[in-house]
Amino acid sequence: MTSLKQALKTHFGFDTFRSKLQEDVVNAVIKGNRDVFVCMPTGAGKSLCYQLPAVMAGGITLVISPLIALIQDQVDHLRDRNIAACSINSKLPAAERRLILADLGSSSPRLKLLYITPEMVASSSFQPCLTDLCSRGLLSYLAVDEAHCVSQWGHDFRPDYLKLGELRARLQGVPCLALTATAPKNVQEDIVKSLRMHMPLSFMSPVFRSNLHYDVIYRDLLPNAYVHLLAFIKKAIADEQGCGIVYCRTREGCETVAHQLTKLGVSAKPYHAGLKAGDRTEAQSEWMQGKVLVIVATISFGMGVDKANVRFVAHWNLAKSLASYYQESGRAGRDGLPSCCRIYYSLKDKEQIYFLIRQEVKRKQEKRGSAKESDKTAVKDFEAMVSFCEQESCRHATISKFFGDKTPNCSKACDYCTNPKLVRAQLERAATLSTR
């Protein structure tokens, strides 16, 4: 066994790496001669990419993470494994904070991982401590988790993350590692620029998932959209083993679609914020156990839900961006088996969402009293979603390009690559609809 695998086992109790990618990242981080950029989906095990190098290094690894709750979770987990980790944040009692600072100031600190929130980075009491550690060569790595928060293009933009560029500049010679689960090309570029990373090595899970079949159906052209959905569901869950998700934008939408499917003989349940908490939990657990085949939900459903045999994800309404769509539809086929992702596209739906987005932007501008460049982000994000539906080209290729990945070999895993003529015919029929 290599010393790396040995350390993985000793410190974390894992026999193997989650993936080749995880192992490659760990090796690159330990090598330490280049900054590292990591983009891997949620659950892929990004934390280990800095935690393992951190415990193997002589010094301290500084970890930036946006939320105290996330930090607490990780610190608890590390401490359970007997790894010296702690966090300095605004909620920390002064006495504990003094203890930590005393350890950091000692000639050989015990601490291995120090988690801090970005607003703490800038605090005047903490700055000298960091500078001191750095000058004594005791900082092993700087890890920036949820790095997309640095980008104004991202959906979780946090102004405090912008201060990290300065921090980075001050920590000369400390290798920097940025990690995120969602980063379209422009967000990736922002991260590298803002964190002043120098020609980072990039590690990305491939965007393309060959077991997912993508297609778009113009809902307005269907004589009976529910019957159409029913046929899709029956085909997707042919073996009776799987289940599926239909996403709707509104509560009423969820209720209607679930009701219609039930009427057509499919076991379906709605899931949205308007339900009593008990009903919501029940719907989710029945679906998890396979007692209900189809959950008809708003996007509040799915976070943290990790079900392997989701055979289809249908969008009855459009997602707000292509990034969101990739994430939502990506809940299908986690077991690697063939699964279907379909959008039931409607022009009326599109206009409605544009209207809502513009209203939201106007509300923000009125509150602020001025317009901002980033106001356009929401509109642009949605435009990418719309053009995905209205395009005449490979859907997988569009998604991969959006995330800055190479063009995949779709081999008929989308409607366009299967039958471009059908896609064209549908577009032509839709054009006559919209001018009527």
**Which residue, judged by CB position, is nearest to ligand ADP in the bound state?**
45
Between 182 and 284, whose beta carbon lies closer to Mg ion? 182
Residues 46-75 that bind Mg ion (CB under 5 A): 46
Between 45 and 274, whose beta carbon lies closer to ligand ADP? 45
- Does position 410 interact with Zn ion (CB under 5 A)? The reply is yes
Stretch that binds Zn ion, among 84-92, 177-185, 187-195, 389-397 (CB under 5 A): 389-397
- Does position 138 interact with ligand ADP (CB under 6 A)? The reply is no
**Phi, psi (rounded to 5 degrees) for 246:** -110, 120
Stretch that binds ligand ADP, among 38-46, 191-199, 388-396, 397-405 (CB under 6 A): 38-46
Q: Please state, in angstroms and rounded to a whole number, the distance separating the CA atoms of residues 389 and 370.
A: 33
Residues 108, 67, 127: CA angle, nearest 5 degrees: 40
Choosing among ligand ADP, Mg ion, Zn ion, none, which partner's interface includes residue 48 (Cβ < 5 to 8 Å by kind)?
A: ligand ADP
Between 40 and 295, whose beta carbon lies closer to ligand ADP? 40
- Does position 364 interact with ligand ADP (CB under 6 A)? The reply is no
Q: What's the alpha-carbon Rg for the chain, to the nearest Å?
A: 24
Cβ at position 54, least distance to ligand ADP in Å: 13
Residues 415-434 that bind Zn ion (CB under 5 A): 417
Candidates 4, 5, 7, 18: give the one binding ligand ADP (CB under 6 A). 18
Stretch that binds ligand ADP, among 37-45, 245-253, 346-354, 392-400 (CB under 6 A): 37-45
Between 173 and 304, whose beta carbon lies closer to ligand ADP? 304
Choosing among Zn ion, Mg ion, ligand ADP, none, which partner's interface includes residue 410 (Cβ < 5 to 8 Å by kind)?
A: Zn ion
Choosing among Mg ion, ligand ADP, Zn ion, none, which partner's interface includes residue 323 (Cβ < 5 to 8 Å by kind)?
A: none
Between 6 and 42, whose beta carbon lies closer to ligand ADP? 42
Cβ at position 258, least distance to ligand ADP in Å: 31
- Does position 207 interact with Zn ion (CB under 5 A)? The reply is no
- Does position 339 interact with ligand ADP (CB under 6 A)? The reply is no
Stretch that binds ligand ADP, among 39-47, 150-158, 256-264, 289-297 (CB under 6 A): 39-47
Choosing among ligand ADP, Zn ion, Mg ion, none, which partner's interface includes residue 44 (Cβ < 5 to 8 Å by kind)?
A: ligand ADP
Cβ at position 47, least distance to ligand ADP in Å: 3
Candidates 21, 25, 29, 40: give the one binding ligand ADP (CB under 6 A). 40
Choosing among Mg ion, ligand ADP, Zn ion, none, which partner's interface includes residue 197 (Cβ < 5 to 8 Å by kind)?
A: none
Q: Please state, in angstroms and rounded to a whole number, the distance separating the CA atoms of residues 264 and 250.
A: 21
Q: How many residues bind Mg ion, per CB under 5 A?
A: 1
Between 9 and 170, whose beta carbon lies closer to ligand ADP? 9
Cβ at position 197, least distance to ligand ADP in Å: 19
Say how many CA atoms lie within 13 Å of 119 toward its Cβ.
8
Q: Please state, in angstroms and rounded to a whole number, the distance separating the CA atoms of residues 300 and 324.
A: 12
- C-beta separation of 31 from 57 below 8 A: no
Comparing CA positions, the residue from 6, 3, 33 lying closest to residue 141 is 33
Candidates 7, 24, 30, 45: give the one binding ligand ADP (CB under 6 A). 45
Cβ at position 109, least distance to ligand ADP in Å: 24
Comparing CA positions, the residue from 256, 223, 214, 144 lying closest to residue 416 is 214
User: Listing from the earlier edge strand, what are the strands of the sheet with 176-180?
Assistant: 85-88, 113-116, 60-64, 139-144, 176-180, 36-39, 201-204
Applying CB under 6 A, the residues found at the interface with ligand ADP are: 14, 17-18, 40, 42-48
Q: Which residues bind Zn ion (CB under 5 A)?
A: 394, 396, 410, 414, 417
Contacts with Mg ion, residue ranges (CB under 5 A):
46
